[in-house]
Structure 1
Amino acid sequence: MVTFELTPHRLILLSYILVILVGSFFLLLPISTYKDISFLDALFTATSATTITGLVVVDTPSTFTPFGQLIILALIQIGGLGYMGFTTYFLILLRRKLSLRDRLLLAESMNYPGMHGLVRFIKRIVPVVFLIELTGAFFLFILFLRDFSNPLNALWQGIFHSVSAFNNAGFSILPDGLAPYRGNIPVNIIFSVLIILGGLGFYVIQELILYYRGQVLRLSTHTKIVITFTGLLLFWGFVLLLTETIQWKELSLRERILVAFFHSVSARTAGFSTVDLKDFSEGSLFWIIILMFIGTGPGGTGGGIKITTAVVILLVVHSYLSGKNQIVIFERRVAETTVQRAITIFILSFAYTTFVTLLLTKLEGTPLLPTLFETVSAFSPVGLSVGNSQGLSFCADFSPIGKMIIIITMLMGRVGILSFMLAIYGKGKESRVKPPEARILL
């Protein structure tokens, strides 16, 4: 008799699906939209918001009323913090005790190492998240006051974009997006800081706070890796994109520098853009694809295969070529199980995005590079797009089947491909019997 066990991976996947379906229902209400939209478009928008992707098949400010925008914002907040983290925090406030199963589920959904200190972690990090978002909203409100005659409108714009930026969602309710602000230094800085903080991961944010307070004497290897390689990716992304934008004569020098910097920040997971991505060369677009695929730190609002996964893969190559039998970074040895997990995530992610890209080029008859860009953007999930003629995402012109493929890709990217596969197939029991070792020529 076959039994279906609700493992933590399956419960997390089902919780995201439930939030998406409820969000789709609210977005279909007459109070949510200025004009009728199909269920598929509502489902796509709800999925994009919950998975904090940012791909759009309908224009957000002209399609959704303030109530509809509020629903999108709520989905972004729930998706960014994680459904389990969000609900658990309020259960803690109500002084409800968490069972062992609840703790296992929460640790898995938040990508937290173990269960020790998990409750303290949630109680500490959720107020910090709201504080960061409120601070960002305040500064954006001050800046938007110059552009909006109604202070309430400026306040709403500030709140929406602060939450969207910190959660790396990429949604905007500005009529022309962020394009009018590509030369505005304060706006670019505020958005970039919010995006970077969200992408570091909640565990890193907590550890930095404790380190600043003197409660932690030494940063963990994980935090060192995330901070160091976040800086390296931002620097090289900026340099490589600047080699192109510096040649754009239609922009001022300040705008060229800001465009290169902002897209180096945004490309890794946020999905905001201050220029039409069609203006970038194929080489720059491919570099952005690489940035999107790598993504940010684990356990935060970012996506991709994660910085730590990419670093472990590089360390494996480096160690083998150096003739070393151990993988070491920052004077710490990387566990074999971590190496196996990183290789598995990389191979599954590469295989899936390649398969979906080739499938969509056949189904939709679209060019390879824009389709690859859209697929990786959905999988990471980022939300950047080369766009269509109406200013929507490239996938807005896809058939219903193509849009459903992107929806599944966004969901898989947010849950994590490894967790998604384990939710579908389950995890077999490890055998204690060790067969004789095989000799395989490579």
Structure 2
Amino acid sequence: MTYTLIGWGLLCLPFFHKQSVAALDSLFIATSAISTTGLVTVSVFDTYNWFGQFIVMLLFQIGGIGYMTFTSFVILSRKGPLTRWHQRILNAEFTMPKGFDIKDFLKSVIVFTILLETLGALCFYIAFTRAGVEHNFAIWSSIFHSVSAFCTAGFGLYNDSFEQFADHTFINTIISVLAISGSLGFIVVTDLWNRISGKTKKITFTTIIIFGVIILLLTLGTVMIYFFEPSVSQLGENKLMVSFFQSMTALTTVGFNTVSVGRFSLGVMLVIIFLMYVGASPSGTGGGMKSTTLTALLAIMWSRIRNNRRVTFFGRVIPLERLYVATSVFMLYASVIFLSTFLLAMTEPFPLDQILFETTSAISTVGLSTGITGNLTAWGKVVVIFVMFVGRLGLLTFGLAILARKNRIKTIEDEEDLAV
């Protein structure tokens, strides 16, 4: 909340404006940036000057590596200890497998982020200059979009996102690599590095599951868009690249688009909503319910169908604590989507499918839109602001931050049966 309010205050200053902008719109932009969502009610490039754009970039950089991660890294750099409450929030935000050291993990997050964003900016500069972008603007655009892509923020300096670069293979590839790298999660990066450097002999079960789910869902989304979306089928040789990009941008929650999402058919929009709902992987820069949560839910269903007493997946027993988290996240996300869709449906003059798409994009911090964001009423903007903030902070983290109390030992004296 503090980062959001500071960003809002700065973006309200006329010194950072190209043209006047309402305070509510600046709050929307600040919240969207710190939550790495990418939904905008006004054009970032047309509304804010370079200083304002830099503030927006700084906000989604902080949001991308995590509120608590950023603060914790500062504390650790000063040799200060993490408080017990701080550690609880970190554990809720970063559901790490056993064996990961939190201090080494946080340092690897910062190093990996700087490395990837620097390489991404260099590649973007080459690509933009080849595409005819003016030199000075190409430098700033490269830095801005590299940070935005890796942090899966979806903010861009082009009002059509990347539609003008739909046939530019190099730019599409850069965005995809950065977004997938960020959304895979720092758990995967640390795990792979430990395996390559010889610190461990094998990668964790979590990493295997994350890779498997992402490959499966990317393939499924690409196939569905490729074969069933009429607006994409007319693109000829670029059809496969566009189909993959739209699947990738929804699943990684990076939020860029190379074709107009508002033109998608209802069936494909439903596929995109599902990909956004699942989202990226735990401890990454992306949002959504998380791929491992989907895995846990499928494991519960499969184990119950087979009448197994323990929940297993590929022969591995999933801890009960993780199952509680998965079911809680699923229900909380569904509840917020339902409630926010209901509230917007009461005040906004848009079809239900567009409102559902908008709320799913907001809670999963994706940033894709059918084009209704800028036309929301003041009430609609407030609702989406709240949904974006909660979506990035994490529903369990949000609840813990508000409801956390001192640990109390309670004894359950009676147990009641509940038929399900």
- Tell me the TM-score normalized by structure 2: 0.94
CA distance in 2: counterparts of 1:139 and 1:18, whole angstroms: 34
Is 2:254 the partner of 1:254?
no
Please list the CA deviations of residues 120-160 of structure 1 after superposition, one character each: whole Å capped at 9, or x if unmatched. Answer: 11122211111011111110110111244542211111111
Residue of structure 1 in register with 2:280 after alignment: 296
Residue of structure 2 in register with 1:415 after alignment: 393
Stretch moving more, 146-155 or 210-219:
146-155
Residue of structure 2 in register with 1:8 after alignment: none
CA distance in 2: counterparts of 1:159 and 1:224, whole angstroms: 32
Residue of structure 2 in register with 1:397 after alignment: 375
From 403, 406, 418, give the equivalent of 2:384.
406
Secondary structure of 2:225 counterpart: helix
Is 2:358 the partner of 1:380?
no
Residue of structure 2 in register with 1:77 after alignment: 61
CA distance in 1: counterparts of 2:339 and 2:368, whole angstroms: 20
Please list the CA deviations of residues 12-46 of structure 1 after superposition, one character each: whole Å capped at 9, or x if unmatched. Answer: xxxxx110010011111222110111110000000
Secondary structure of 1:325 counterpart: coil
Question: How far is the alpha carbon of 1:175 from its aligned partner?
Answer: 4.4
From 247, 251, 258, give the equivalent of 1:264.
247
Question: How far is the alpha carbon of 1:211 from its aligned partner?
Answer: 1.3
Secondary structure of 1:190 counterpart: helix
Change (3 A) 1:29 1:314: same
Question: How far is the alpha carbon of 1:109 from its aligned partner?
Answer: 4.1
Cα pair 1:198 1:301 within 8 Å, conserved: yes
The residue correspondences of 1:277-316 to structure 2 (distance < 5 A) are: 277-316=261-300
Is 2:130 the partner of 1:146?
yes
Change (3 A) 1:343 1:430: farther
Secondary structure of 1:366 counterpart: coil
Change (3 A) 1:37 1:56: same
Secondary structure of 1:130 counterpart: helix
Is 2:407 the partner of 1:433?
no
Is 2:163 the partner of 1:179?
yes
Gaps of 5+ in 2: none
Question: How far is the alpha carbon of 1:395 from its aligned partner?
Answer: 2.5
Cα pair 2:232 2:243 within 8 Å, conserved: no
Gaps of 5+ in 1: 1-16, 388-393
Amino acid at match of 1:68: G
From 81, 93, 110, give the equivalent of 1:126.
110
Is 2:306 the partner of 1:322?
yes
Question: How far is the alpha carbon of 1:76 from its aligned partner?
Answer: 0.6
Question: How far is the alpha carbon of 1:429 from its aligned partner?
Answer: 4.2
Change (3 A) 1:397 1:247: closer
Cα pair 1:107 1:115 within 8 Å, conserved: no
Please list the CA deviations of residues 354-400 of structure 1 after superposition, one character each: whole Å capped at 9, or x if unmatched. Answer: 1211221112232110000000000001000000xxxxxx1221221
Secondary structure of 2:38 counterpart: coil
Amino acid at match of 1:169: A
Is 2:175 the partner of 1:191?
yes
Change (3 A) 1:331 1:219: farther
Query: How many corresponding residue pairs?
Result: 417
Question: How far is the alpha carbon of 1:115 from its aligned partner?
Answer: 9.2
CA distance in 2: counterparts of 1:177 and 1:395, whole angstroms: 14
CA distance in 2: counterparts of 1:298 and 1:39, whole angstroms: 33
Cα pair 2:358 2:369 within 8 Å, conserved: yes
Amino acid at match of 1:382: V
